């Protein structure tokens, strides 16, 4: 079997690293403790102009009229920017990797779809002058009914939030309203399970609250180029997004960044650069667009709120025989990265456990809330929280130790996962054993002797692999899958039949059928987007 | 109208003009040019802009600049002792007490205010000294350890 | 358009300026006013300040305490004779905020700020108002009722020093060690032998301004500080309150947990 570390990166990695457990210093620490690390706003320019944005006070409204005449005449105001001034006033972040449709304007023109949505920008000689000019803009709105709950948004007759996705769901592969995972037959397994537990989990949006708010300074250079100092976490991503929105070749943009005052996922959305560049272009002067703390909280995209339902079928002996997950990701009014969070979530179902029947339905839903984005394991973190709460509840309900319950169900090398990939390099059992020892948590002998390298795969995996090719219709005689898993558990751990069965002995997972369509052949990757496999 | 402001900044006299109602943070950064002072909220809630005015910690963003005219102001730019780093700076480096580094200048000044008045602080004293300074990266523990360590080492050096 | 700053040597002159000039606001510690100035609040055209030393003066005798309205939380913490207020002063922000925040400013701080004002309300404080034509006195409770109604400049706050350990204070926060108030409770609990007589209880963050828990005060009259004695007071703890929903807590939550924290405060840690 190919081992990446040795076979591919042999020359790049020192096998004698001794870093863990020893103190080390960051390479940028001297700049940090002397205050000399240069963040985007630590670059100064004569005649710097300041951009402030007028934001919607309504979660959903039609804009009837905008009167900015008084603001345009206000002291210090150099320019007012409206949606019509933005060269490409519709974009979606992941369009750069051909994922999703352009759905979000830089400045709203006819309708606002969340409270805090940008409508108009004032560029002035000081931030104070820009703020004072904003007070003079008069906008007349027709408020529209709004939807704030993911399940309400999916009901028939619900308010349609985003015209690009009129049914309030993101389109996967241009035809599916959600992402599915199907493995085995959960309904049949629930019918046979000793106990079935269903719970609901609701997460809240979480603001990254970086100590440095999002911002950027765009400076006109010679030859029509612009230098942009930015707080972005995603320099080239922001560069290309800015180029697209401003309809300019990306070689006219020089982005300088890398020193970021806290990001955590909240600085990947390119919130400020496109308008700062446009303003610099329209005025010929350097322009700074910096979010206030209030804007960072209201308009800066948060971690999305997920609602997750989990239904487990559990046997008295501790085996989980079925897991059904239904989840709704609140994307807010537009797509930032929640569409991708859903893909990650589905890839993470059912957690690190070998379960023969798994069913997942995960929706990316539009509501009239602030668009959600990346944050530290987004898509996975919330699901893990829900799954592990559920694991505790299952264990308590069947009277089993929660850690032993996890050890029993943990992936082992050779197990077939619900995604039809064979598990390898598993170590959850060993992690649990070490954690139990350190925490003086009593594990019974048989659980202390279990191993990720023993007892996995073999009959379990083969049976499951068979079934995936011929899904059992409901009510059909059961395949030996669950009985073989029972055998694996009930076999005394000391009775190690044969040494670990390495993954290369396993049958290959079923390949997607060849097809003329792109579906099933192209896959989405977190970094490269859809790519041919 | 611009208002003249004179400060003794890190031991040097500086003079500048500021807009009426300007806060000390903007004056230090954009009029005087001391970019070591960072701004996080401009509403007095995050502690990022902490500087010392006549030895006491103050939030520069909600301090009227002209109210400090004639006063001594210390920022992290003046923290070094000659060519050497301040013991707090060394301790922050050794304890990984900074990650993104943006809260670090304010955190260091809050810590200096503590050690200047109380060279042998308890852990509780340290926690109180930095309780108005938000750090989103480190989880605070390395910062607390660094400040306690700096106090110990400085006490040993001056003993 | 920038803000005009006017500095007066005498507090009385500053009081005249804010009462005669539209858009003039008095700057005490700055923690709230400067935030509004930074946000270009159009209502603020002039900042008025005073360097009058009397404004920051603290005078403590065995019977009375007099706090200049410009006295900071840090100044109170530096005054040994004011130990009864140290817990309250330390509850107001971190060290940098305490160096700026003043007694007078706290009286005008919108909910959920104003924990120090709640303490002064329990202590039955009197405020002195500065004015161009001389000073006048007012009960703090009366000032709180009309504080948003126009230009008022408080020069000092006075109260009778309470006996022994009759004064208690608790602040409930979600963030530790320091955060905004879910609520705060201040209580003056004078004992005649073992019976409470003339209790004063004040809440912070349970209404638009700090307010008194009059029903709970009445229910404590003549009772002893034990579980049975305080039960009637706990039952009416939230009477007359009107807390808000904000980012810290919902009004419902504030009402729910109020009796729990009042119980802890009245019984003391050893009995809970």
Lowest mean pLDDT among A207-216, A335-344, A472-481, C242-251: A472-481
Same domain? A128 vs A269: no
Residue A529 pLDDT exceeds 80: no
Is position A21 within any domain?
no
Q: To the nearest whole angstrom, how far is the Cα of C88 from the nearest Cα of chain A? A: 28
What's chain C's length in residues?
A: 272
Same domain? C33 vs C62: no
Is position A402 within any domain?
yes
For residue C130, the SS3 value is strand
Across the interface, which of C49, C90, C93 has its CB nearest the CB of B67?
Answer: C49
Selected residue with higher pLDDT from A502 and C136: C136
Q: Domain holding C206: CATH number?
A: 3.30.390.50
Residue A344 pLDDT exceeds 50: yes
Task: Look at C40 and A127 and tell me if their CB atoms are within 8 Å.
Answer: yes
Same domain? A413 vs A346: yes
Residue A503 pLDDT exceeds 60: no
Using an 8 Å Cβ cutoff, are C171 and C91 in contact?
A: yes
Same domain? A397 vs A493: yes
Report the alpha-carbon distance of residue A426 to residue B140 in Å, rounded: 33
Indicate the helix (H) or strand (E) that contains B9: strand B2-9
Same domain? C22 vs C99: no
Residues of B with Cβ-Cβ distance to A263 under 8 angstroms: 100
Lowest mean pLDDT among A60-69, A178-187, A515-524, C70-79: A515-524
Same domain? C64 vs C94: yes
Q: Which domain holds residue C129?
A: 54-160
Report the alpha-carbon distance of residue A307 to residue A362 in Å, rounded: 10
Using an 8 Å Cβ cutoff, are B96 and A23 in contact?
A: yes
Using an 8 Å Cβ cutoff, are B33 and B80 in contact?
A: no
Residue A469 pLDDT exceeds 50: no
The last residue of a domain, from among A298, A328, A348: A298
Domain count for chain A, please give it.
3
Same domain? A196 vs A231: no
Report the alpha-carbon distance of residue C116 to residue C73 in Å, rounded: 9
Tens digit of each residue's pLDDT (9 = 90 or more) over A441-452:
999 999 999 999
Residue B158 pLDDT exceeds 70: no
Indicate the helix (H) or strand (E) that contains C258: helix C251-267
Query: CB neighbours of A416 closer than 8 A, spacing ≥ 6?
Result: A354, A422, A423, A457, A460, A461, A464, A465, A468, A506, A509
The pTM of the full predicted model, rounded to 2 decimals, is 0.90
Same domain? C67 vs C17: no
Using an 8 Å Cβ cutoff, are A287 and A90 in contact?
A: no
Same domain? C115 vs C33: no
Is position A473 within any domain?
yes
Same domain? C153 vs C236: no
Residue C11 pLDDT exceeds 60: yes
Quick one: tokens of C83?
Answer: 């130990």
Report the alpha-carbon distance of residue C47 to residue B21 in Å, rounded: 7
Tens digit of each residue's pLDDT (9 = 90 or more) over B92-111:
999 999 999 999 999 999 99
Average pLDDT on A429-433 reads 96
Query: CB neighbours of C124 closer than 8 A, spacing ≥ 6?
Result: C139, C140, C159, C160, C188, C200
Contact residues, B window 21-80, toward C, CB-based 8 Å cutoff: 21-23, 42-44, 47, 50, 53, 56-59, 61-64, 66-67
Q: Phi and psi for B144 in degrees, rounded to 5? A: -60, -45
Query: CB neighbours of A473 closer than 8 A, spacing ≥ 6?
Result: none
Lowest mean pLDDT among A2-6, A217-221, C149-153: A2-6
Is position A360 within any domain?
yes
Closest of B55, B87, B85, B59 to residue B73, by C-alpha: B55
Same domain? A252 vs A313: no
The last residue of a domain, from among A250, A268, A298: A298
- The pLDDT score that the predictor gives to residue B95 is 95
Bridge partners of residue A52, in order along the sequence: A122
Domain count for chain C, please give it.
3
Residue of A22, A31, A34 best to disrupt the B interface, most CBs of B under 10 A: A34
Residues of A with Cβ-Cβ distance to C42 under 8 angstroms: 132, 135
Contact residues, A window 122-151, toward B, CB-based 8 Å cutoff: 126, 128
What's chain B's length in residues?
A: 159
Closest of A334, A325, A347, A281 to residue A304, by C-alpha: A334
Residue A484 pLDDT exceeds 70: no
Closest of A137, A138, A165 to residue A153, by C-alpha: A165
Question: Judging by beta carbons within 10 Å of its beta carbon (0-12, 13-18, 19+), is residue C230 exposed, middle or buried?
Answer: buried
Across the interface, which of A29, A213, A263 has its CB nearest the CB of B98?
Answer: A29
Same domain? A419 vs A445: yes
ipTM above 0.95, yes or no: yes
Same domain? A278 vs A378: no
Tens digit of each residue's pLDDT (9 = 90 or more) over A369-402:
999 999 999 999 999 999 999 999 999 999 999 9
Query: CB neighbours of B46 closer than 8 A, spacing ≥ 6?
Result: A211, A293, B40, B103, B133, B134
Q: Which domain holds residue A88?
A: 49-143
Is position A443 within any domain?
yes
Is position A149 within any domain?
no
Residue A520 pLDDT exceeds 80: no
For residue C165, the SS3 value is coil
- The pLDDT score that the predictor gives to residue A441 is 96
Band of residue A476 on the pLDDT scale cut at 50, 70, 90: very low
Tens digit of each residue's pLDDT (9 = 90 or more) over A259-284:
999 999 999 999 999 999 999 999 99
What order of strands is seen across the sheet that includes strand A138-143? Answer: A111-112, A61-67, A138-143
Is position A168 within any domain?
no
Same domain? A390 vs A331: yes
The last residue of a domain, from among A91, A125, A143: A143
Domains and CATH numbers, chain B: 2-78 (3.10.20.30), 87-158 (1.10.150.120)
Same domain? C39 vs C126: no
Beta-carbon-side half-sphere exposure of residue C113 (alpha carbons within 13 Å):
16
Chains A, C: CB contacts within 8 A come to: 15
Band of residue A481 on the pLDDT scale cut at 50, 70, 90: very low
- The pLDDT score that the predictor gives to residue A518 is 38
Tens digit of each residue's pLDDT (9 = 90 or more) over C68-124:
999 999 999 999 999 999 999 999 999 999 999 999 999 999 999 999 999 999 999
Same domain? A337 vs A189: yes
Report the alpha-carbon distance of residue A321 to residue A485 in Å, rounded: 9
8-state DSSP, B30: I
Tens digit of each residue's pLDDT (9 = 90 or more) over A11-45:
776 777 788 888 889 999 999 999 999 999 999 99
Average pLDDT on A236-254 reads 97
Average pLDDT on C125-154 reads 90
Residue A55 pLDDT exceeds 80: yes
Tens digit of each residue's pLDDT (9 = 90 or more) over A62-74:
999 999 999 999 9
Using an 8 Å Cβ cutoff, are A269 and A93 in contact?
A: yes
**How confident is the prediction for chain A on average, in pLDDT?**
87
Residue C143 pLDDT exceeds 80: yes
Residue C167 pLDDT exceeds 90: yes
Band of residue C271 on the pLDDT scale cut at 50, 70, 90: low
What order of strands is seen across the sheet that includes strand C46-50? Answer: C4-8, C46-50, C24-26
Closest of A164, A150, A203, A152 to residue A366, by C-alpha: A150
Same domain? A262 vs A307: no
- The pLDDT score that the predictor gives to residue A516 is 39
Residues of A with Cβ-Cβ distance to B19 under 8 angstroms: 126, 128
- The pLDDT score that the predictor gives to residue C1 is 67
- The pLDDT score that the predictor gives to residue A357 is 95
- Cβ-based neighbour number of residue A300 at 10 Å: 24
- The pLDDT score that the predictor gives to residue C272 is 57
- Cβ-based neighbour number of residue B8 at 10 Å: 15
Q: To the nearest whole angstrom, how far is the Cα of A528 from the nearest Cα of chain B? A: 27
Same domain? C104 vs C192: no
Report the alpha-carbon distance of residue A123 to residue A79 in Å, rounded: 5
Q: Domain holding A266: CATH number?
A: 3.30.365.10
Question: Judging by beta carbons within 10 Å of its beta carbon (0-12, 13-18, 19+), is residue A523 exposed, middle or buried?
Answer: middle
Contact residues, C window 12-41, toward A, CB-based 8 Å cutoff: 39-40
The last residue of a domain, from among C125, C141, C160: C160
Is position A169 within any domain?
no
Task: Look at B132 and C27 and tell me if their CB atoms are within 8 Å.
Answer: no
Same domain? C146 vs C206: no
Contact residues, A window 238-277, toward B, CB-based 8 Å cutoff: 259-264
Same domain? A395 vs A483: yes
Same domain? C64 vs C151: yes
Q: Phi and psi for C57 in degrees, rounded to 5? A: -75, 140
Report the alpha-carbon distance of residue B41 to residue B59 in Å, rounded: 10
- The pLDDT score that the predictor gives to residue A28 is 96
Average pLDDT on A438-466 reads 80
Same domain? A387 vs A478: yes
Report the alpha-carbon distance of residue A175 to residue C101 in Å, rounded: 59
Using an 8 Å Cβ cutoff, are A61 and A144 in contact?
A: yes
Residues of C with Cβ-Cβ distance to A204 under 8 angstroms: none
Task: Look at C39 and A131 and tell me if their CB atoms are within 8 Å.
Answer: yes
Using an 8 Å Cβ cutoff, are A127 and B19 in contact?
A: no
Average pLDDT on A189-215 reads 96
């Amino acid at each position: 079997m190919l081992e990446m570390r040795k076979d591919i990166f042999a020359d790049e990695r020192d096998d004698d690293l001794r870093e863990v457990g020893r103190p080390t210093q960051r390479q940028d620490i001297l700049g940090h403790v002397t205050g000399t690390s240069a963040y985007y706003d630590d670059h100064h320019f004569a005649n710097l102009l300041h951009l402030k944005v007028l934001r919607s006070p309504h979660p959903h409204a039609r804009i009837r009229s905008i009167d900015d005449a008084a603001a345009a005449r206000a002291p210090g105001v150099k320019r007012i920017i409206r949606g019509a001034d933005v060269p490409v006033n519709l974009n979606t972040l992941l369009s750069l990797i051909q994922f999703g449709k352009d759905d979000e304007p830089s400045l709203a023109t006819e309708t606002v779809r969340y409270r805090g949505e940008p409508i108009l920008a004032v560029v002035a000689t000081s931030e104070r002058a820009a703020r004072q000019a904003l007070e003079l803009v008069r906008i007349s709105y027709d408020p529209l009914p709004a939807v704030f709950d993911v399940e309400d948004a999916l009901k028939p007759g619900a308010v349609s939030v985003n015209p690009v996705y009129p049914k309030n769901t993101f389109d996967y592969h241009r035809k599916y309203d959600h992402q599915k995972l199907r493995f085995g037959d959960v309904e049949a397994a629930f019918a046979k399970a000793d106990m079935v537990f269903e719970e609901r989990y609701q997460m809240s949006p979480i603001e990254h609250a970086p100590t440095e708010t999002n911002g950027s300074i765009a400076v006109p250079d010679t030859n029509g180029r612009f230098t942009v100092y930015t707080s972005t976490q995603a320099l080239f991503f922001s560069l290309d997004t800015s180029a697209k929105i401003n309809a300019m070749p990306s070689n006219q943009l020089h982005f300088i960044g890398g020193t970021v005052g806290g990001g955590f996922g909240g600085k990947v959305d390119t919130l400020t650069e496109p308008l700062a560049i446009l303003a610099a272009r329209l005025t010929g002067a350097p322009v700074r667009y910096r979010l206030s703390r209030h804007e960072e909280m209201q308009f800066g995209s948060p971690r999305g709120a997920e609602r997750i339902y989990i239904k487990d079928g559990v046997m008295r002996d501790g085996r989980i025989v079925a897991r059904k997950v239904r989840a709704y990701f609140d994307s807010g009014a537009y797509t930032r990265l929640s569409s991708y969070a859903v893909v990650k979530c589905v890839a993470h179902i059912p957690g690190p456990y070998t379960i023969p029947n798994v069913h997942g339905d995960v929706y990316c839903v539009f509501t009239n809330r602030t668009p959600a984005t990346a944050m530290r394991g987004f898509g996975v973190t919330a699901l893990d929280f829900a799954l592990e709460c559920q694991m505790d509840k299952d264990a308590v309900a069947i009277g089993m130790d929660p850690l032993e319950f996890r050890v029993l169900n943990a992936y082992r090398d050779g197990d077939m996962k619900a995604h039809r990939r064979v598990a390898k390099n598993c170590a959850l059992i060993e992690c649990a054993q070490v954690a139990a020892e350190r925490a003086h948590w009593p594990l019974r002998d048989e659980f202390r002797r279990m191993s990720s390298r023993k007892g996995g795969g073999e009959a379990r995996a083969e049976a499951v692999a068979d079934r995936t090719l011929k899904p059992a219709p409901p009510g059909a005689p059961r395949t030996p899958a669950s009985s073989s898993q029972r055998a694996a558990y009930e076999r005394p751990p000391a009775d190690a039949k044969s040494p670990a069965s390495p993954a290369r002995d396993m049958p290959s997972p079923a390949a997607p059928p060849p097809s003329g369509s792109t579906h099933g052949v192209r896959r989405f990757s977190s970094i490269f987007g859809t790519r041919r496999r | 109208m611009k208002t003249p402001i004179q400060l003794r900044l890190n031991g040097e006299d500086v003079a500048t003009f500021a807009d009426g109602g300007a806060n000390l943070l903007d004056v230090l950064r954009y009029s005087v040019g001391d970019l070591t002072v960072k701004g996080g909220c401009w509403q007095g809630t995050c502690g990022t802009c902490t500087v010392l005015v006549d030895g006491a910690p103050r939030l520069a963003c909600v301090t009227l600049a002209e109210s400090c005219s004639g006063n001594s102001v210390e920022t992290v730019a003046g923290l070094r002792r000659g060519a050497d780093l301040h013991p707090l700076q060394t301790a922050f480096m050794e304890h990984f007490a900074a990650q993104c580094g943006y809260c670090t200048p304010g955190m260091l000044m809050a810590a200096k205010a503590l050690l200047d008045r109380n060279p042998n602080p308890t852990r509780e004293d340290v926690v109180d000294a930095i309780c108005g300074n938000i750090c989103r990266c480190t989880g605070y523990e390395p910062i607390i350890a660094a400040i306690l360590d700096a106090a110990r080492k400085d006490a040993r050096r001056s003993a | 358009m920038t803000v005009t700053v006017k500095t007066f040597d005498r507090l009385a002159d500053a009081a005249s300026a804010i009462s005669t000039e539209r858009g003039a606001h008095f700057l005490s510690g700055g923690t709230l006013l400067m935030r509004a100035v930074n946000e270009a609040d159009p209502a603020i055209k002039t900042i008025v300040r005073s360097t009058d030393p009397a404004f920051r003066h603290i005078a403590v005798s065995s019977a009375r305490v007099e706090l200049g309205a410009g006295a900071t939380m840090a100044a109170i913490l530096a005054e040994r004779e004011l130990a009864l207020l140290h817990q309250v002063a330390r509850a107001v922000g971190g060290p940098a905020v305490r160096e700026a925040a003043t007694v007078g400013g706290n009286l005008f701080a919108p909910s959920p700020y104003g924990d120090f004002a709640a303490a002064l309300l329990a202590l039955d404080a009197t405020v002195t108002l500065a004015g161009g034509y001389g000073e006048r006195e007012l009960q703090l409770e009366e000032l709180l009722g009309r504080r948003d109604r126009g230009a008022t400049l408080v020069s000092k706050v006075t109260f009778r020093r309470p006996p022994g350990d009759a004064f208690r204070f608790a602040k409930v926060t979600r963030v530790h060690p320091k955060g905004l108030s879910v609520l705060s409770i201040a209580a003056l609990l004078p004992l005649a032998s073992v019976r409470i007589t003339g209790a004063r209880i004040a809440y912070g963050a349970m209404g638009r301004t700090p307010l008194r828990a009059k029903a709970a005060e009445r229910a404590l009259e003549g009772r002893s500080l034990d579980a049975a004695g305080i039960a009637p007071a706990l039952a009416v703890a939230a009477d007359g309150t009107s807390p808000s929903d904000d980012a810290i807590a919902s009004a419902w939550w504030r009402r729910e947990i109020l009796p729990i924290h009042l119980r802890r405060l009245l019984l003391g840690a050893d009995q809970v």
